[in-house]
Structure 1
Amino acid sequence: MISDRVRFALIWTALVGVLAVPIAAAATSPLLAWRDPIYILAGFAGIVGMALLLVQPLLIGGLLPGLSGPPGRRVHRWIGGILVAAVLIHVGALWITSPPDVVDALLLVSPTPFSVWGVIAMWAVFAAALLAALRKRLRLRPRRWRLGHAALAVVTVLGTVAHALLIDGTMETLSKVMLCVLVLAATGKIVAGLKV
């Protein structure tokens, strides 16, 4: 039987590896050679945001050793804020590189399907964060709040996964697909377990 210390180390090592591989693979992409620094920043903000989507359900489900219960929920809130910041950096940096493309995406008239999915995910993550920030003021019953927040999280994940899979960019295909599958699996497991 595995000791708690070994289990702790294995889980955290696996998580760090799963998060680091897509980022490292993207950092070695030959497509970066012809990109401006602001465009590279936009891309990596998106990749980091995608990685954080894996961490969020693991935190709320208490699946990360040392971060279950109230500490896990606190870190979940912090990661949520970092996720919103990553989305803002992603969109803001893309705006600097090509305002017309971002306007088309925000108006849902972009000819590229991945843009539409990205915008859907962006508004869902903003709404989820706003719902979390206004939780006490809205005075929603816990079950209703959980249902709303979980529904927005699911839309965020589905939109982000579709957005990422449709882009042929700096993310290496195999590690991108692996990360997407893990994000979907973790979100599905936690949402099903919450019985919302």
Structure 2
Amino acid sequence: MTGWSSARGILIWVALALAIGVPVALAATSEQLAWRGPVYILAGFAGIIALGLVLMQPLLIGGYLPGLSAYRGRRAHHWIGGTLVLAVVIHVAGLWITSPPDMIDALTYASPTPFSPFGVTAMWAIFIVALLALLRRRLGLRLRTWRIIHIPLAIVIVAGSVVHCLLIEGTMETISKAALCVLVVMAAAKVMADLWRRRTLRGEGVARQ
């Protein structure tokens, strides 16, 4: 049984690595890169990595990654959240350097491209979550209050990021991009369903008492 658990754990980590690594690797082979400058390429890959980090976040907080205790999962969730913010900043800053007018239009929701408002909305949600996480103790936010704030923002982040990615016709390969987006949605839905189930069971337990 221990051997199977160990093998299962390895398979989960390998699957996660492939889910994030394959889209990045295939994007690196895109012919479109030949027409892009280094700053634009850096910005594009920062966006791809950011989507991979969005996949990791619910897996970490839900305790679905083997070998990590609940405490380590939460700590990793915090660190990955910080890395996600950094990736988004690099993504936006790189695009700003290469085309300031386009980024001004995107940030002011005036861009004619259909993917821009979804990405910008997800970006602001990421920044809000990160800021509140830093100020959570100072603001005295209890776990229940934090979840009431965090979960809707997480839904915005997932939905906005996925739609943003799917609408862009860029360097990412279509099938691997779609697969990564599906996994992001499934992971988020799984952890939210589990949190709801645990809350319901606790409520039933209190009612029986």
> Structure 2 length as normaliser, TM-score?
0.91
Look up the match of 1:100: 101
Question: More deviation in 91-100 or 186-195?
Answer: 186-195
CA distance in 2, matches of 1:148, 1:116: 21
Alpha-carbon distance between aligned partners in 1 of 2:11 and 2:89, rounded to the nearest angstrom: 33
Tell me which amino acid in the other structure corresponds to 1:135: R
**Alignment partner of 1:51 is 2:39:** no
Residue identity in the other structure for 2:91 = H
Specify the code of the residue in structure 1 equivalent to 2:95.
L
1:34 aligns with 2:35: yes
Determine the structure 1 residue equivalent to 2:131: 130
Deviation at 1:146, TM superposition (A): 1.1
Amino acid paired to 1:165: L
Contact (CA 8 Å) 1:45, 1:87: kept in 2 or not?
yes
Identity, in percent, stands at 62
Find the aligned partners of 1:81 and 1:150 in 2 and give their Cα distance. 17
- 1:70 maps to a residue whose letter is Y
**1:171 match: secondary structure:** coil
Which residue number in structure 1 is paired with residue 70 of structure 2? 69
Question: Which residue of structure 2 aligns with residue 171 of structure 1?
Answer: 172
Instruction: In structure 2, give the amino acid aligned to 1:103.
Output: I
1:121 and 2:122 correspond: yes
Contact kept? 1:61, 1:68, Cα under 8 Å: no
Mapped partners of 1:69, 1:125: distance in 2:
23
Cα deviation code 1:118-154 (max 9, x no counterpart): 1000000001111111111111221110121121111
Task: Select the structure of larger CA radius of gyration.
Answer: 2
Alpha-carbon separation, structure 1, partners of 2:73 and 2:57: 9
Matched, 1:85 2:86: yes
Q: Return the letter of the residue paired with 2:107.
A: L
Tell me how far 1:68 sits from its aligned partner.
Answer: 3.2
Counterpart residue identity of residue 181, structure 1: V
Pairs aligned (count): 196
Aligned to 2:113: 112
Equivalent position of 1:139 in the other structure: 140
